A and B are shown apart, each in its own frame.
Chain A
């Protein structure tokens, strides 16, 4: 399975560390998830196989977060060169370029930044220009538009927060039909979590809390990437509320990270936060794939939260609106 492939006009993009994390999580027995920093054979073999369906495309191999690579992988790079029109490595540590034996190429268009190459062309000649750096965001937006559904003209009633929504993002459909992109988004979330809570992840080993089917899907993959435990707190709402057995699930002085698929007004997240704090647990923050910023940054600082995609007034591809009866124009 390849999660990070993004195709845009004549460019094919792969994030090598994301693929390495998949190798390290699902193929290696113990698994080191996103903490794996060395590129290995299996990962490149999988990508070469996948890339065979794109002959003549320009290939971007993003090496962000990788520190080194296994020896003797140069033949795989040769395979890429044979299939692709041209190959470029981005965000590659110099060690990787050396270990892949690519130092024989020197291209005037290479961009260096200290110990790494921002881009390194695997060729001596001039090559294609990488202008578009928002490949993932664009792909995710497209997917969001594709899986947003509205109920005709009628706004949708949102039970847990008592508001109306103009349209609704069908995460279940996105998970099933855009599986790879969605897992890639979870990978991105894992990287962000690791950056945000680096110290806590190493010392306290927080537990991931999820509350429904979608978020437990996200949490289960996150737990593989981050090597954390999962706790499913079912029936926290919006429809069923059943708090009778919570105190033997949440442990005192343990740290918890609340996982959601979409945070809209944050009602469910707040219920979880209150319960954790009430039962003596330590609430670290909440993470989600999509977050709707309903408040201005002057009003609230989002310090305890991470997400992959934010819906704001400027960045609202599906024209998502939260409505109440006060500003709703009734159908007549």
Chain B
């Protein structure tokens, strides 16, 4: 494709689904095509000036962190900001205003004013297009955020001497305060989210911590709340799940890559080795987190899906898993096993059982957990064969580095139709 790549097309909502399915593909086409030696250029919107009066551009705000994340990677790759072409007309004005008020332009530009988000120099755009807005009211909390240890050097210094687990706890606490500062007003909006506020804050601060600690780079995040749902999206440029897993070590009840290896024998989908690796590493990560003595990703997932009745989508490199109440039965069984595992860990911690008893019990539980986990994974793969549209995994041809998580939680706790 020649010329700039459009981000948002007339009449098509730019959602995370659109992003993964079409947008990334378009980028890949650019780099594999003839024009790869030219500089990459984006156009915010696509359409004729003449049609501007009837143009409608839709953006699902939670797709913004994804755009930022991939653009940061590409800007880094070409060692200079990506050119972003803007236009300000009757059709795009509202969109530009939303982006402006969400601090998007400060974050992607070269802003050095410390009272506003620091510019990451991701895009190179002509700022004279930004303006002439109708002063629509926009929630002050609907902003794109960037979290990074680099920006907070004091924080990085404070956690330096701590072990990895302590670093994590420390950062979770730090981000609990941050999340509250940035998003709490959104959560206090209605009675139902107010009840879940502490859960939300905890979930989001854990996700942000995962993002910054693993990736050692920026994590982009946005929370958006409408009448029915509170959505949260976080995207980092880190090393991804597979590489994190290679750093883990074996223990009496966990052998590295055991789910990975077991699944790869029964994995029947005809896809490339890369895609297979991504899918299996997602399952391996969840299994590993299920066995740990600490609360982690698996508990987070259960909290979202079982307690908050929400949606959890996790994407890494070539694959995405979508966990929702559709998997509730299997998840419920795993959750109960998880609770037993935690209990055994606790008994050991408080000296109620001996090391030996602990080993016997935990190995037994891990075995049961593994069986159920494999069953769940295989049934997901089978269903993928049957119907790709309603599948719980989505596979992509193009690699998108890092880990990208979207969470959607209905505002009403008793709302079961999601």
| Neighbour of B349 across the interface among A41, A42, A70, A75, CB < 8 A | A75
- Other A-B pairs beyond A71-B295, A75-B349, A102-B346, 19, CB < 8 Å: A28-B177, A29-B177, A30-B180, A32-B180, A38-B201, A40-B173, A68-B198, A68-B202, A70-B176, A70-B202, A71-B172, A71-B202, A73-B169, A74-B346, A78-B349, A101-B349, A104-B352, A105-B350, A124-B352
A75: chain B residues within 8 A (beta carbon):
349
Does the CB pair A70–B172 fall under 8 Å? yes
Q: From residue 192 to 221 of chain B, which have CB atoms closer than 8 A to chain A?
A: 198, 201-202, 206
Main DSSP-derived SS at the B contact region: helix
User: Please, what's the 1-or-0 string for A156-190, where 1 marks a CB less than 8 Å from any CB in chain B?
Assistant: 00000000000000000000000000000000000
Known: A71-B206, A71-B295. A42 touches B173 (CB 8 A): yes
Whether A294 is near chain B, meaning CB under 8 Å from some CB there, is no
Nearest to B172 among chain A residues (CB) is A70
Q: How far is the CA of A86 from the CA of B198 in the complex (A)?
A: 30
A32: chain B residues within 8 A (beta carbon):
177, 180
Does the CB pair A41–B177 fall under 8 Å? no
B297 to nearest A CB, angstroms?
A: 12
Does the CB pair A78–B176 fall under 8 Å? no
Q: From residue 74 to 120 of chain A, which have CB atoms closer than 8 A to chain B?
A: 74-75, 78, 81, 101-105
Q: How far is the CA of A194 from the CA of B206 in the complex (A)?
A: 30
9 closest A-B pairs by CB: A71-B295, A28-B177, A30-B181, A40-B173, A101-B346, A41-B173, A68-B198, A41-B169, A72-B294
Does the CB pair B350–A38 fall under 8 Å? no
Does the CB pair B198–A37 fall under 8 Å? yes
Does the CB pair A101–B169 fall under 8 Å? no
Does the CB pair A38–B172 fall under 8 Å? no
Interface centre among B169, B176, B346, B347 (most CB of A within 10 A): B169
B140 to nearest A CB, angstroms?
A: 14
B173: chain A residues within 8 A (beta carbon):
40-42, 70
A282: chain B residues within 8 A (beta carbon):
none
Known: A70-B172, A101-B342. A30 touches B350 (CB 8 A): no
Nearest to A75 among chain B residues (CB) is B349
Interface centre among A41, A67, A75 (most CB of B within 10 A): A41
Nearest to A99 among chain B residues (CB) is B295
B343: chain A residues within 8 A (beta carbon):
103-104
Interchain residue pairs with CB less than 8 A apart (9): A30-B180, A38-B198, A41-B172, A68-B202, A73-B169, A101-B342, A101-B349, A102-B346, A104-B347
Q: From residue 150 to 203 of chain B, which have CB atoms closer than 8 A to chain A?
A: 165, 168-170, 172-173, 176-177, 180-181, 198, 201-202
Q: How far is the CA of A71 from the CA of B350 in the complex (A)?
A: 17
A205 to nearest B CB, angstroms?
A: 15
Q: How far is the CA of A101 from the CA of B346 in the complex (A)?
A: 7
| Neighbour of B170 across the interface among A28, A41, A71, A81, CB < 8 A | A41
Known: A67-B198, A104-B347. A38 touches B169 (CB 8 A): no
Nearest to A95 among chain B residues (CB) is B198
Known: A68-B198, A71-B172, A71-B202. A30 touches B177 (CB 8 A): yes
User: Please, what's the 1-or-0 string for B325-353, where 1 marks a CB less than 8 Å from any CB in chain A?
Assistant: 00000000000000000110011011010
Does the CB pair A70–B177 fall under 8 Å? no
A28: chain B residues within 8 A (beta carbon):
177
B299: chain A residues within 8 A (beta carbon):
71
Does the CB pair B169–A70 fall under 8 Å? yes
A103: chain B residues within 8 A (beta carbon):
343
Nearest to B339 among chain A residues (CB) is A103
A30: chain B residues within 8 A (beta carbon):
177, 180-181
Q: How far is the CA of A30 from the CA of B177 in the complex (A)?
A: 8
